[in-house]
Amino acid sequence: MQYWLMKSEPDEVSIDDLARAGTVPWSGVRNYQARNFMRDAMQVGDLAFFYHSGCAEPGIAGICEVCSEPYPDATQFDPHSAYHDPKSAPDKPRWLLRDVRFVGKGRYLPLAELRSYVELANMRLLARGNRLSITPVTAEEWAFINRFMAEKS
DNA sequence: GCCAACGTTGGC
DNA sequence: GCCAACGTTGGC
């Protein structure tokens, strides 16, 4: 059992979109490190913070759960998709993803607030220059942040 | 295998 | 829109 943080642009898929859909494929990851986390390190049942990026106030919006084994990201083979990868062959797919399931929505935790806690000083998300869209979260970080999720907003 | 050029991410 | 930081590409 491991914990994760997964970034999504709310314009594409927000926590409310996930709540409505129930389950979504985590498509569009085109970074090998993030792919390897999904392909190799994640396990069904792992929990992840759902993070909103590329928006006015980035931050943690809720929690989701890894709910499938890895399988090829269909968008890589779609010439009309922004995530199309012409170098990926259907018999040897380059990009694998997992499905994630909505677990809950918490008090919105802005990035600026996360940065204010010394307990999170070493969090991967907050590391200088971090751009990874999927990062591991330690059990300590999870517990520390998770208790804010239950607060009223 | 090095490394410069380029593209992308993502906060601000 | 800017720009720092990082990843990828491709020539050599």
Q: Do residues A44 and A67 touch, judged by C-beta distance below 8 A?
A: yes
Residue owning tokens 């494929």? A25
Count of structural domains, chain A: 1
Q: What CATH number is attached to the domain comprising A90?
A: 3.10.590.10
**A61 CA to C11 C1' distance (Å):** 45
Q: Do residues A44 and A110 touch, judged by C-beta distance below 8 A?
A: no
**A11 CA to B12 C1' distance (Å):** 19
Q: Please give the model's pTM, rounded to 2 decimal places.
A: 0.94
Range of the domain at A103: 3-149
Segment A23-52, tens digit of pLDDT: 999 999 999 999 999 999 999 999 999 999
The answer to whether A55 CB sits below 7 Å from nucleic acid chain B is yes
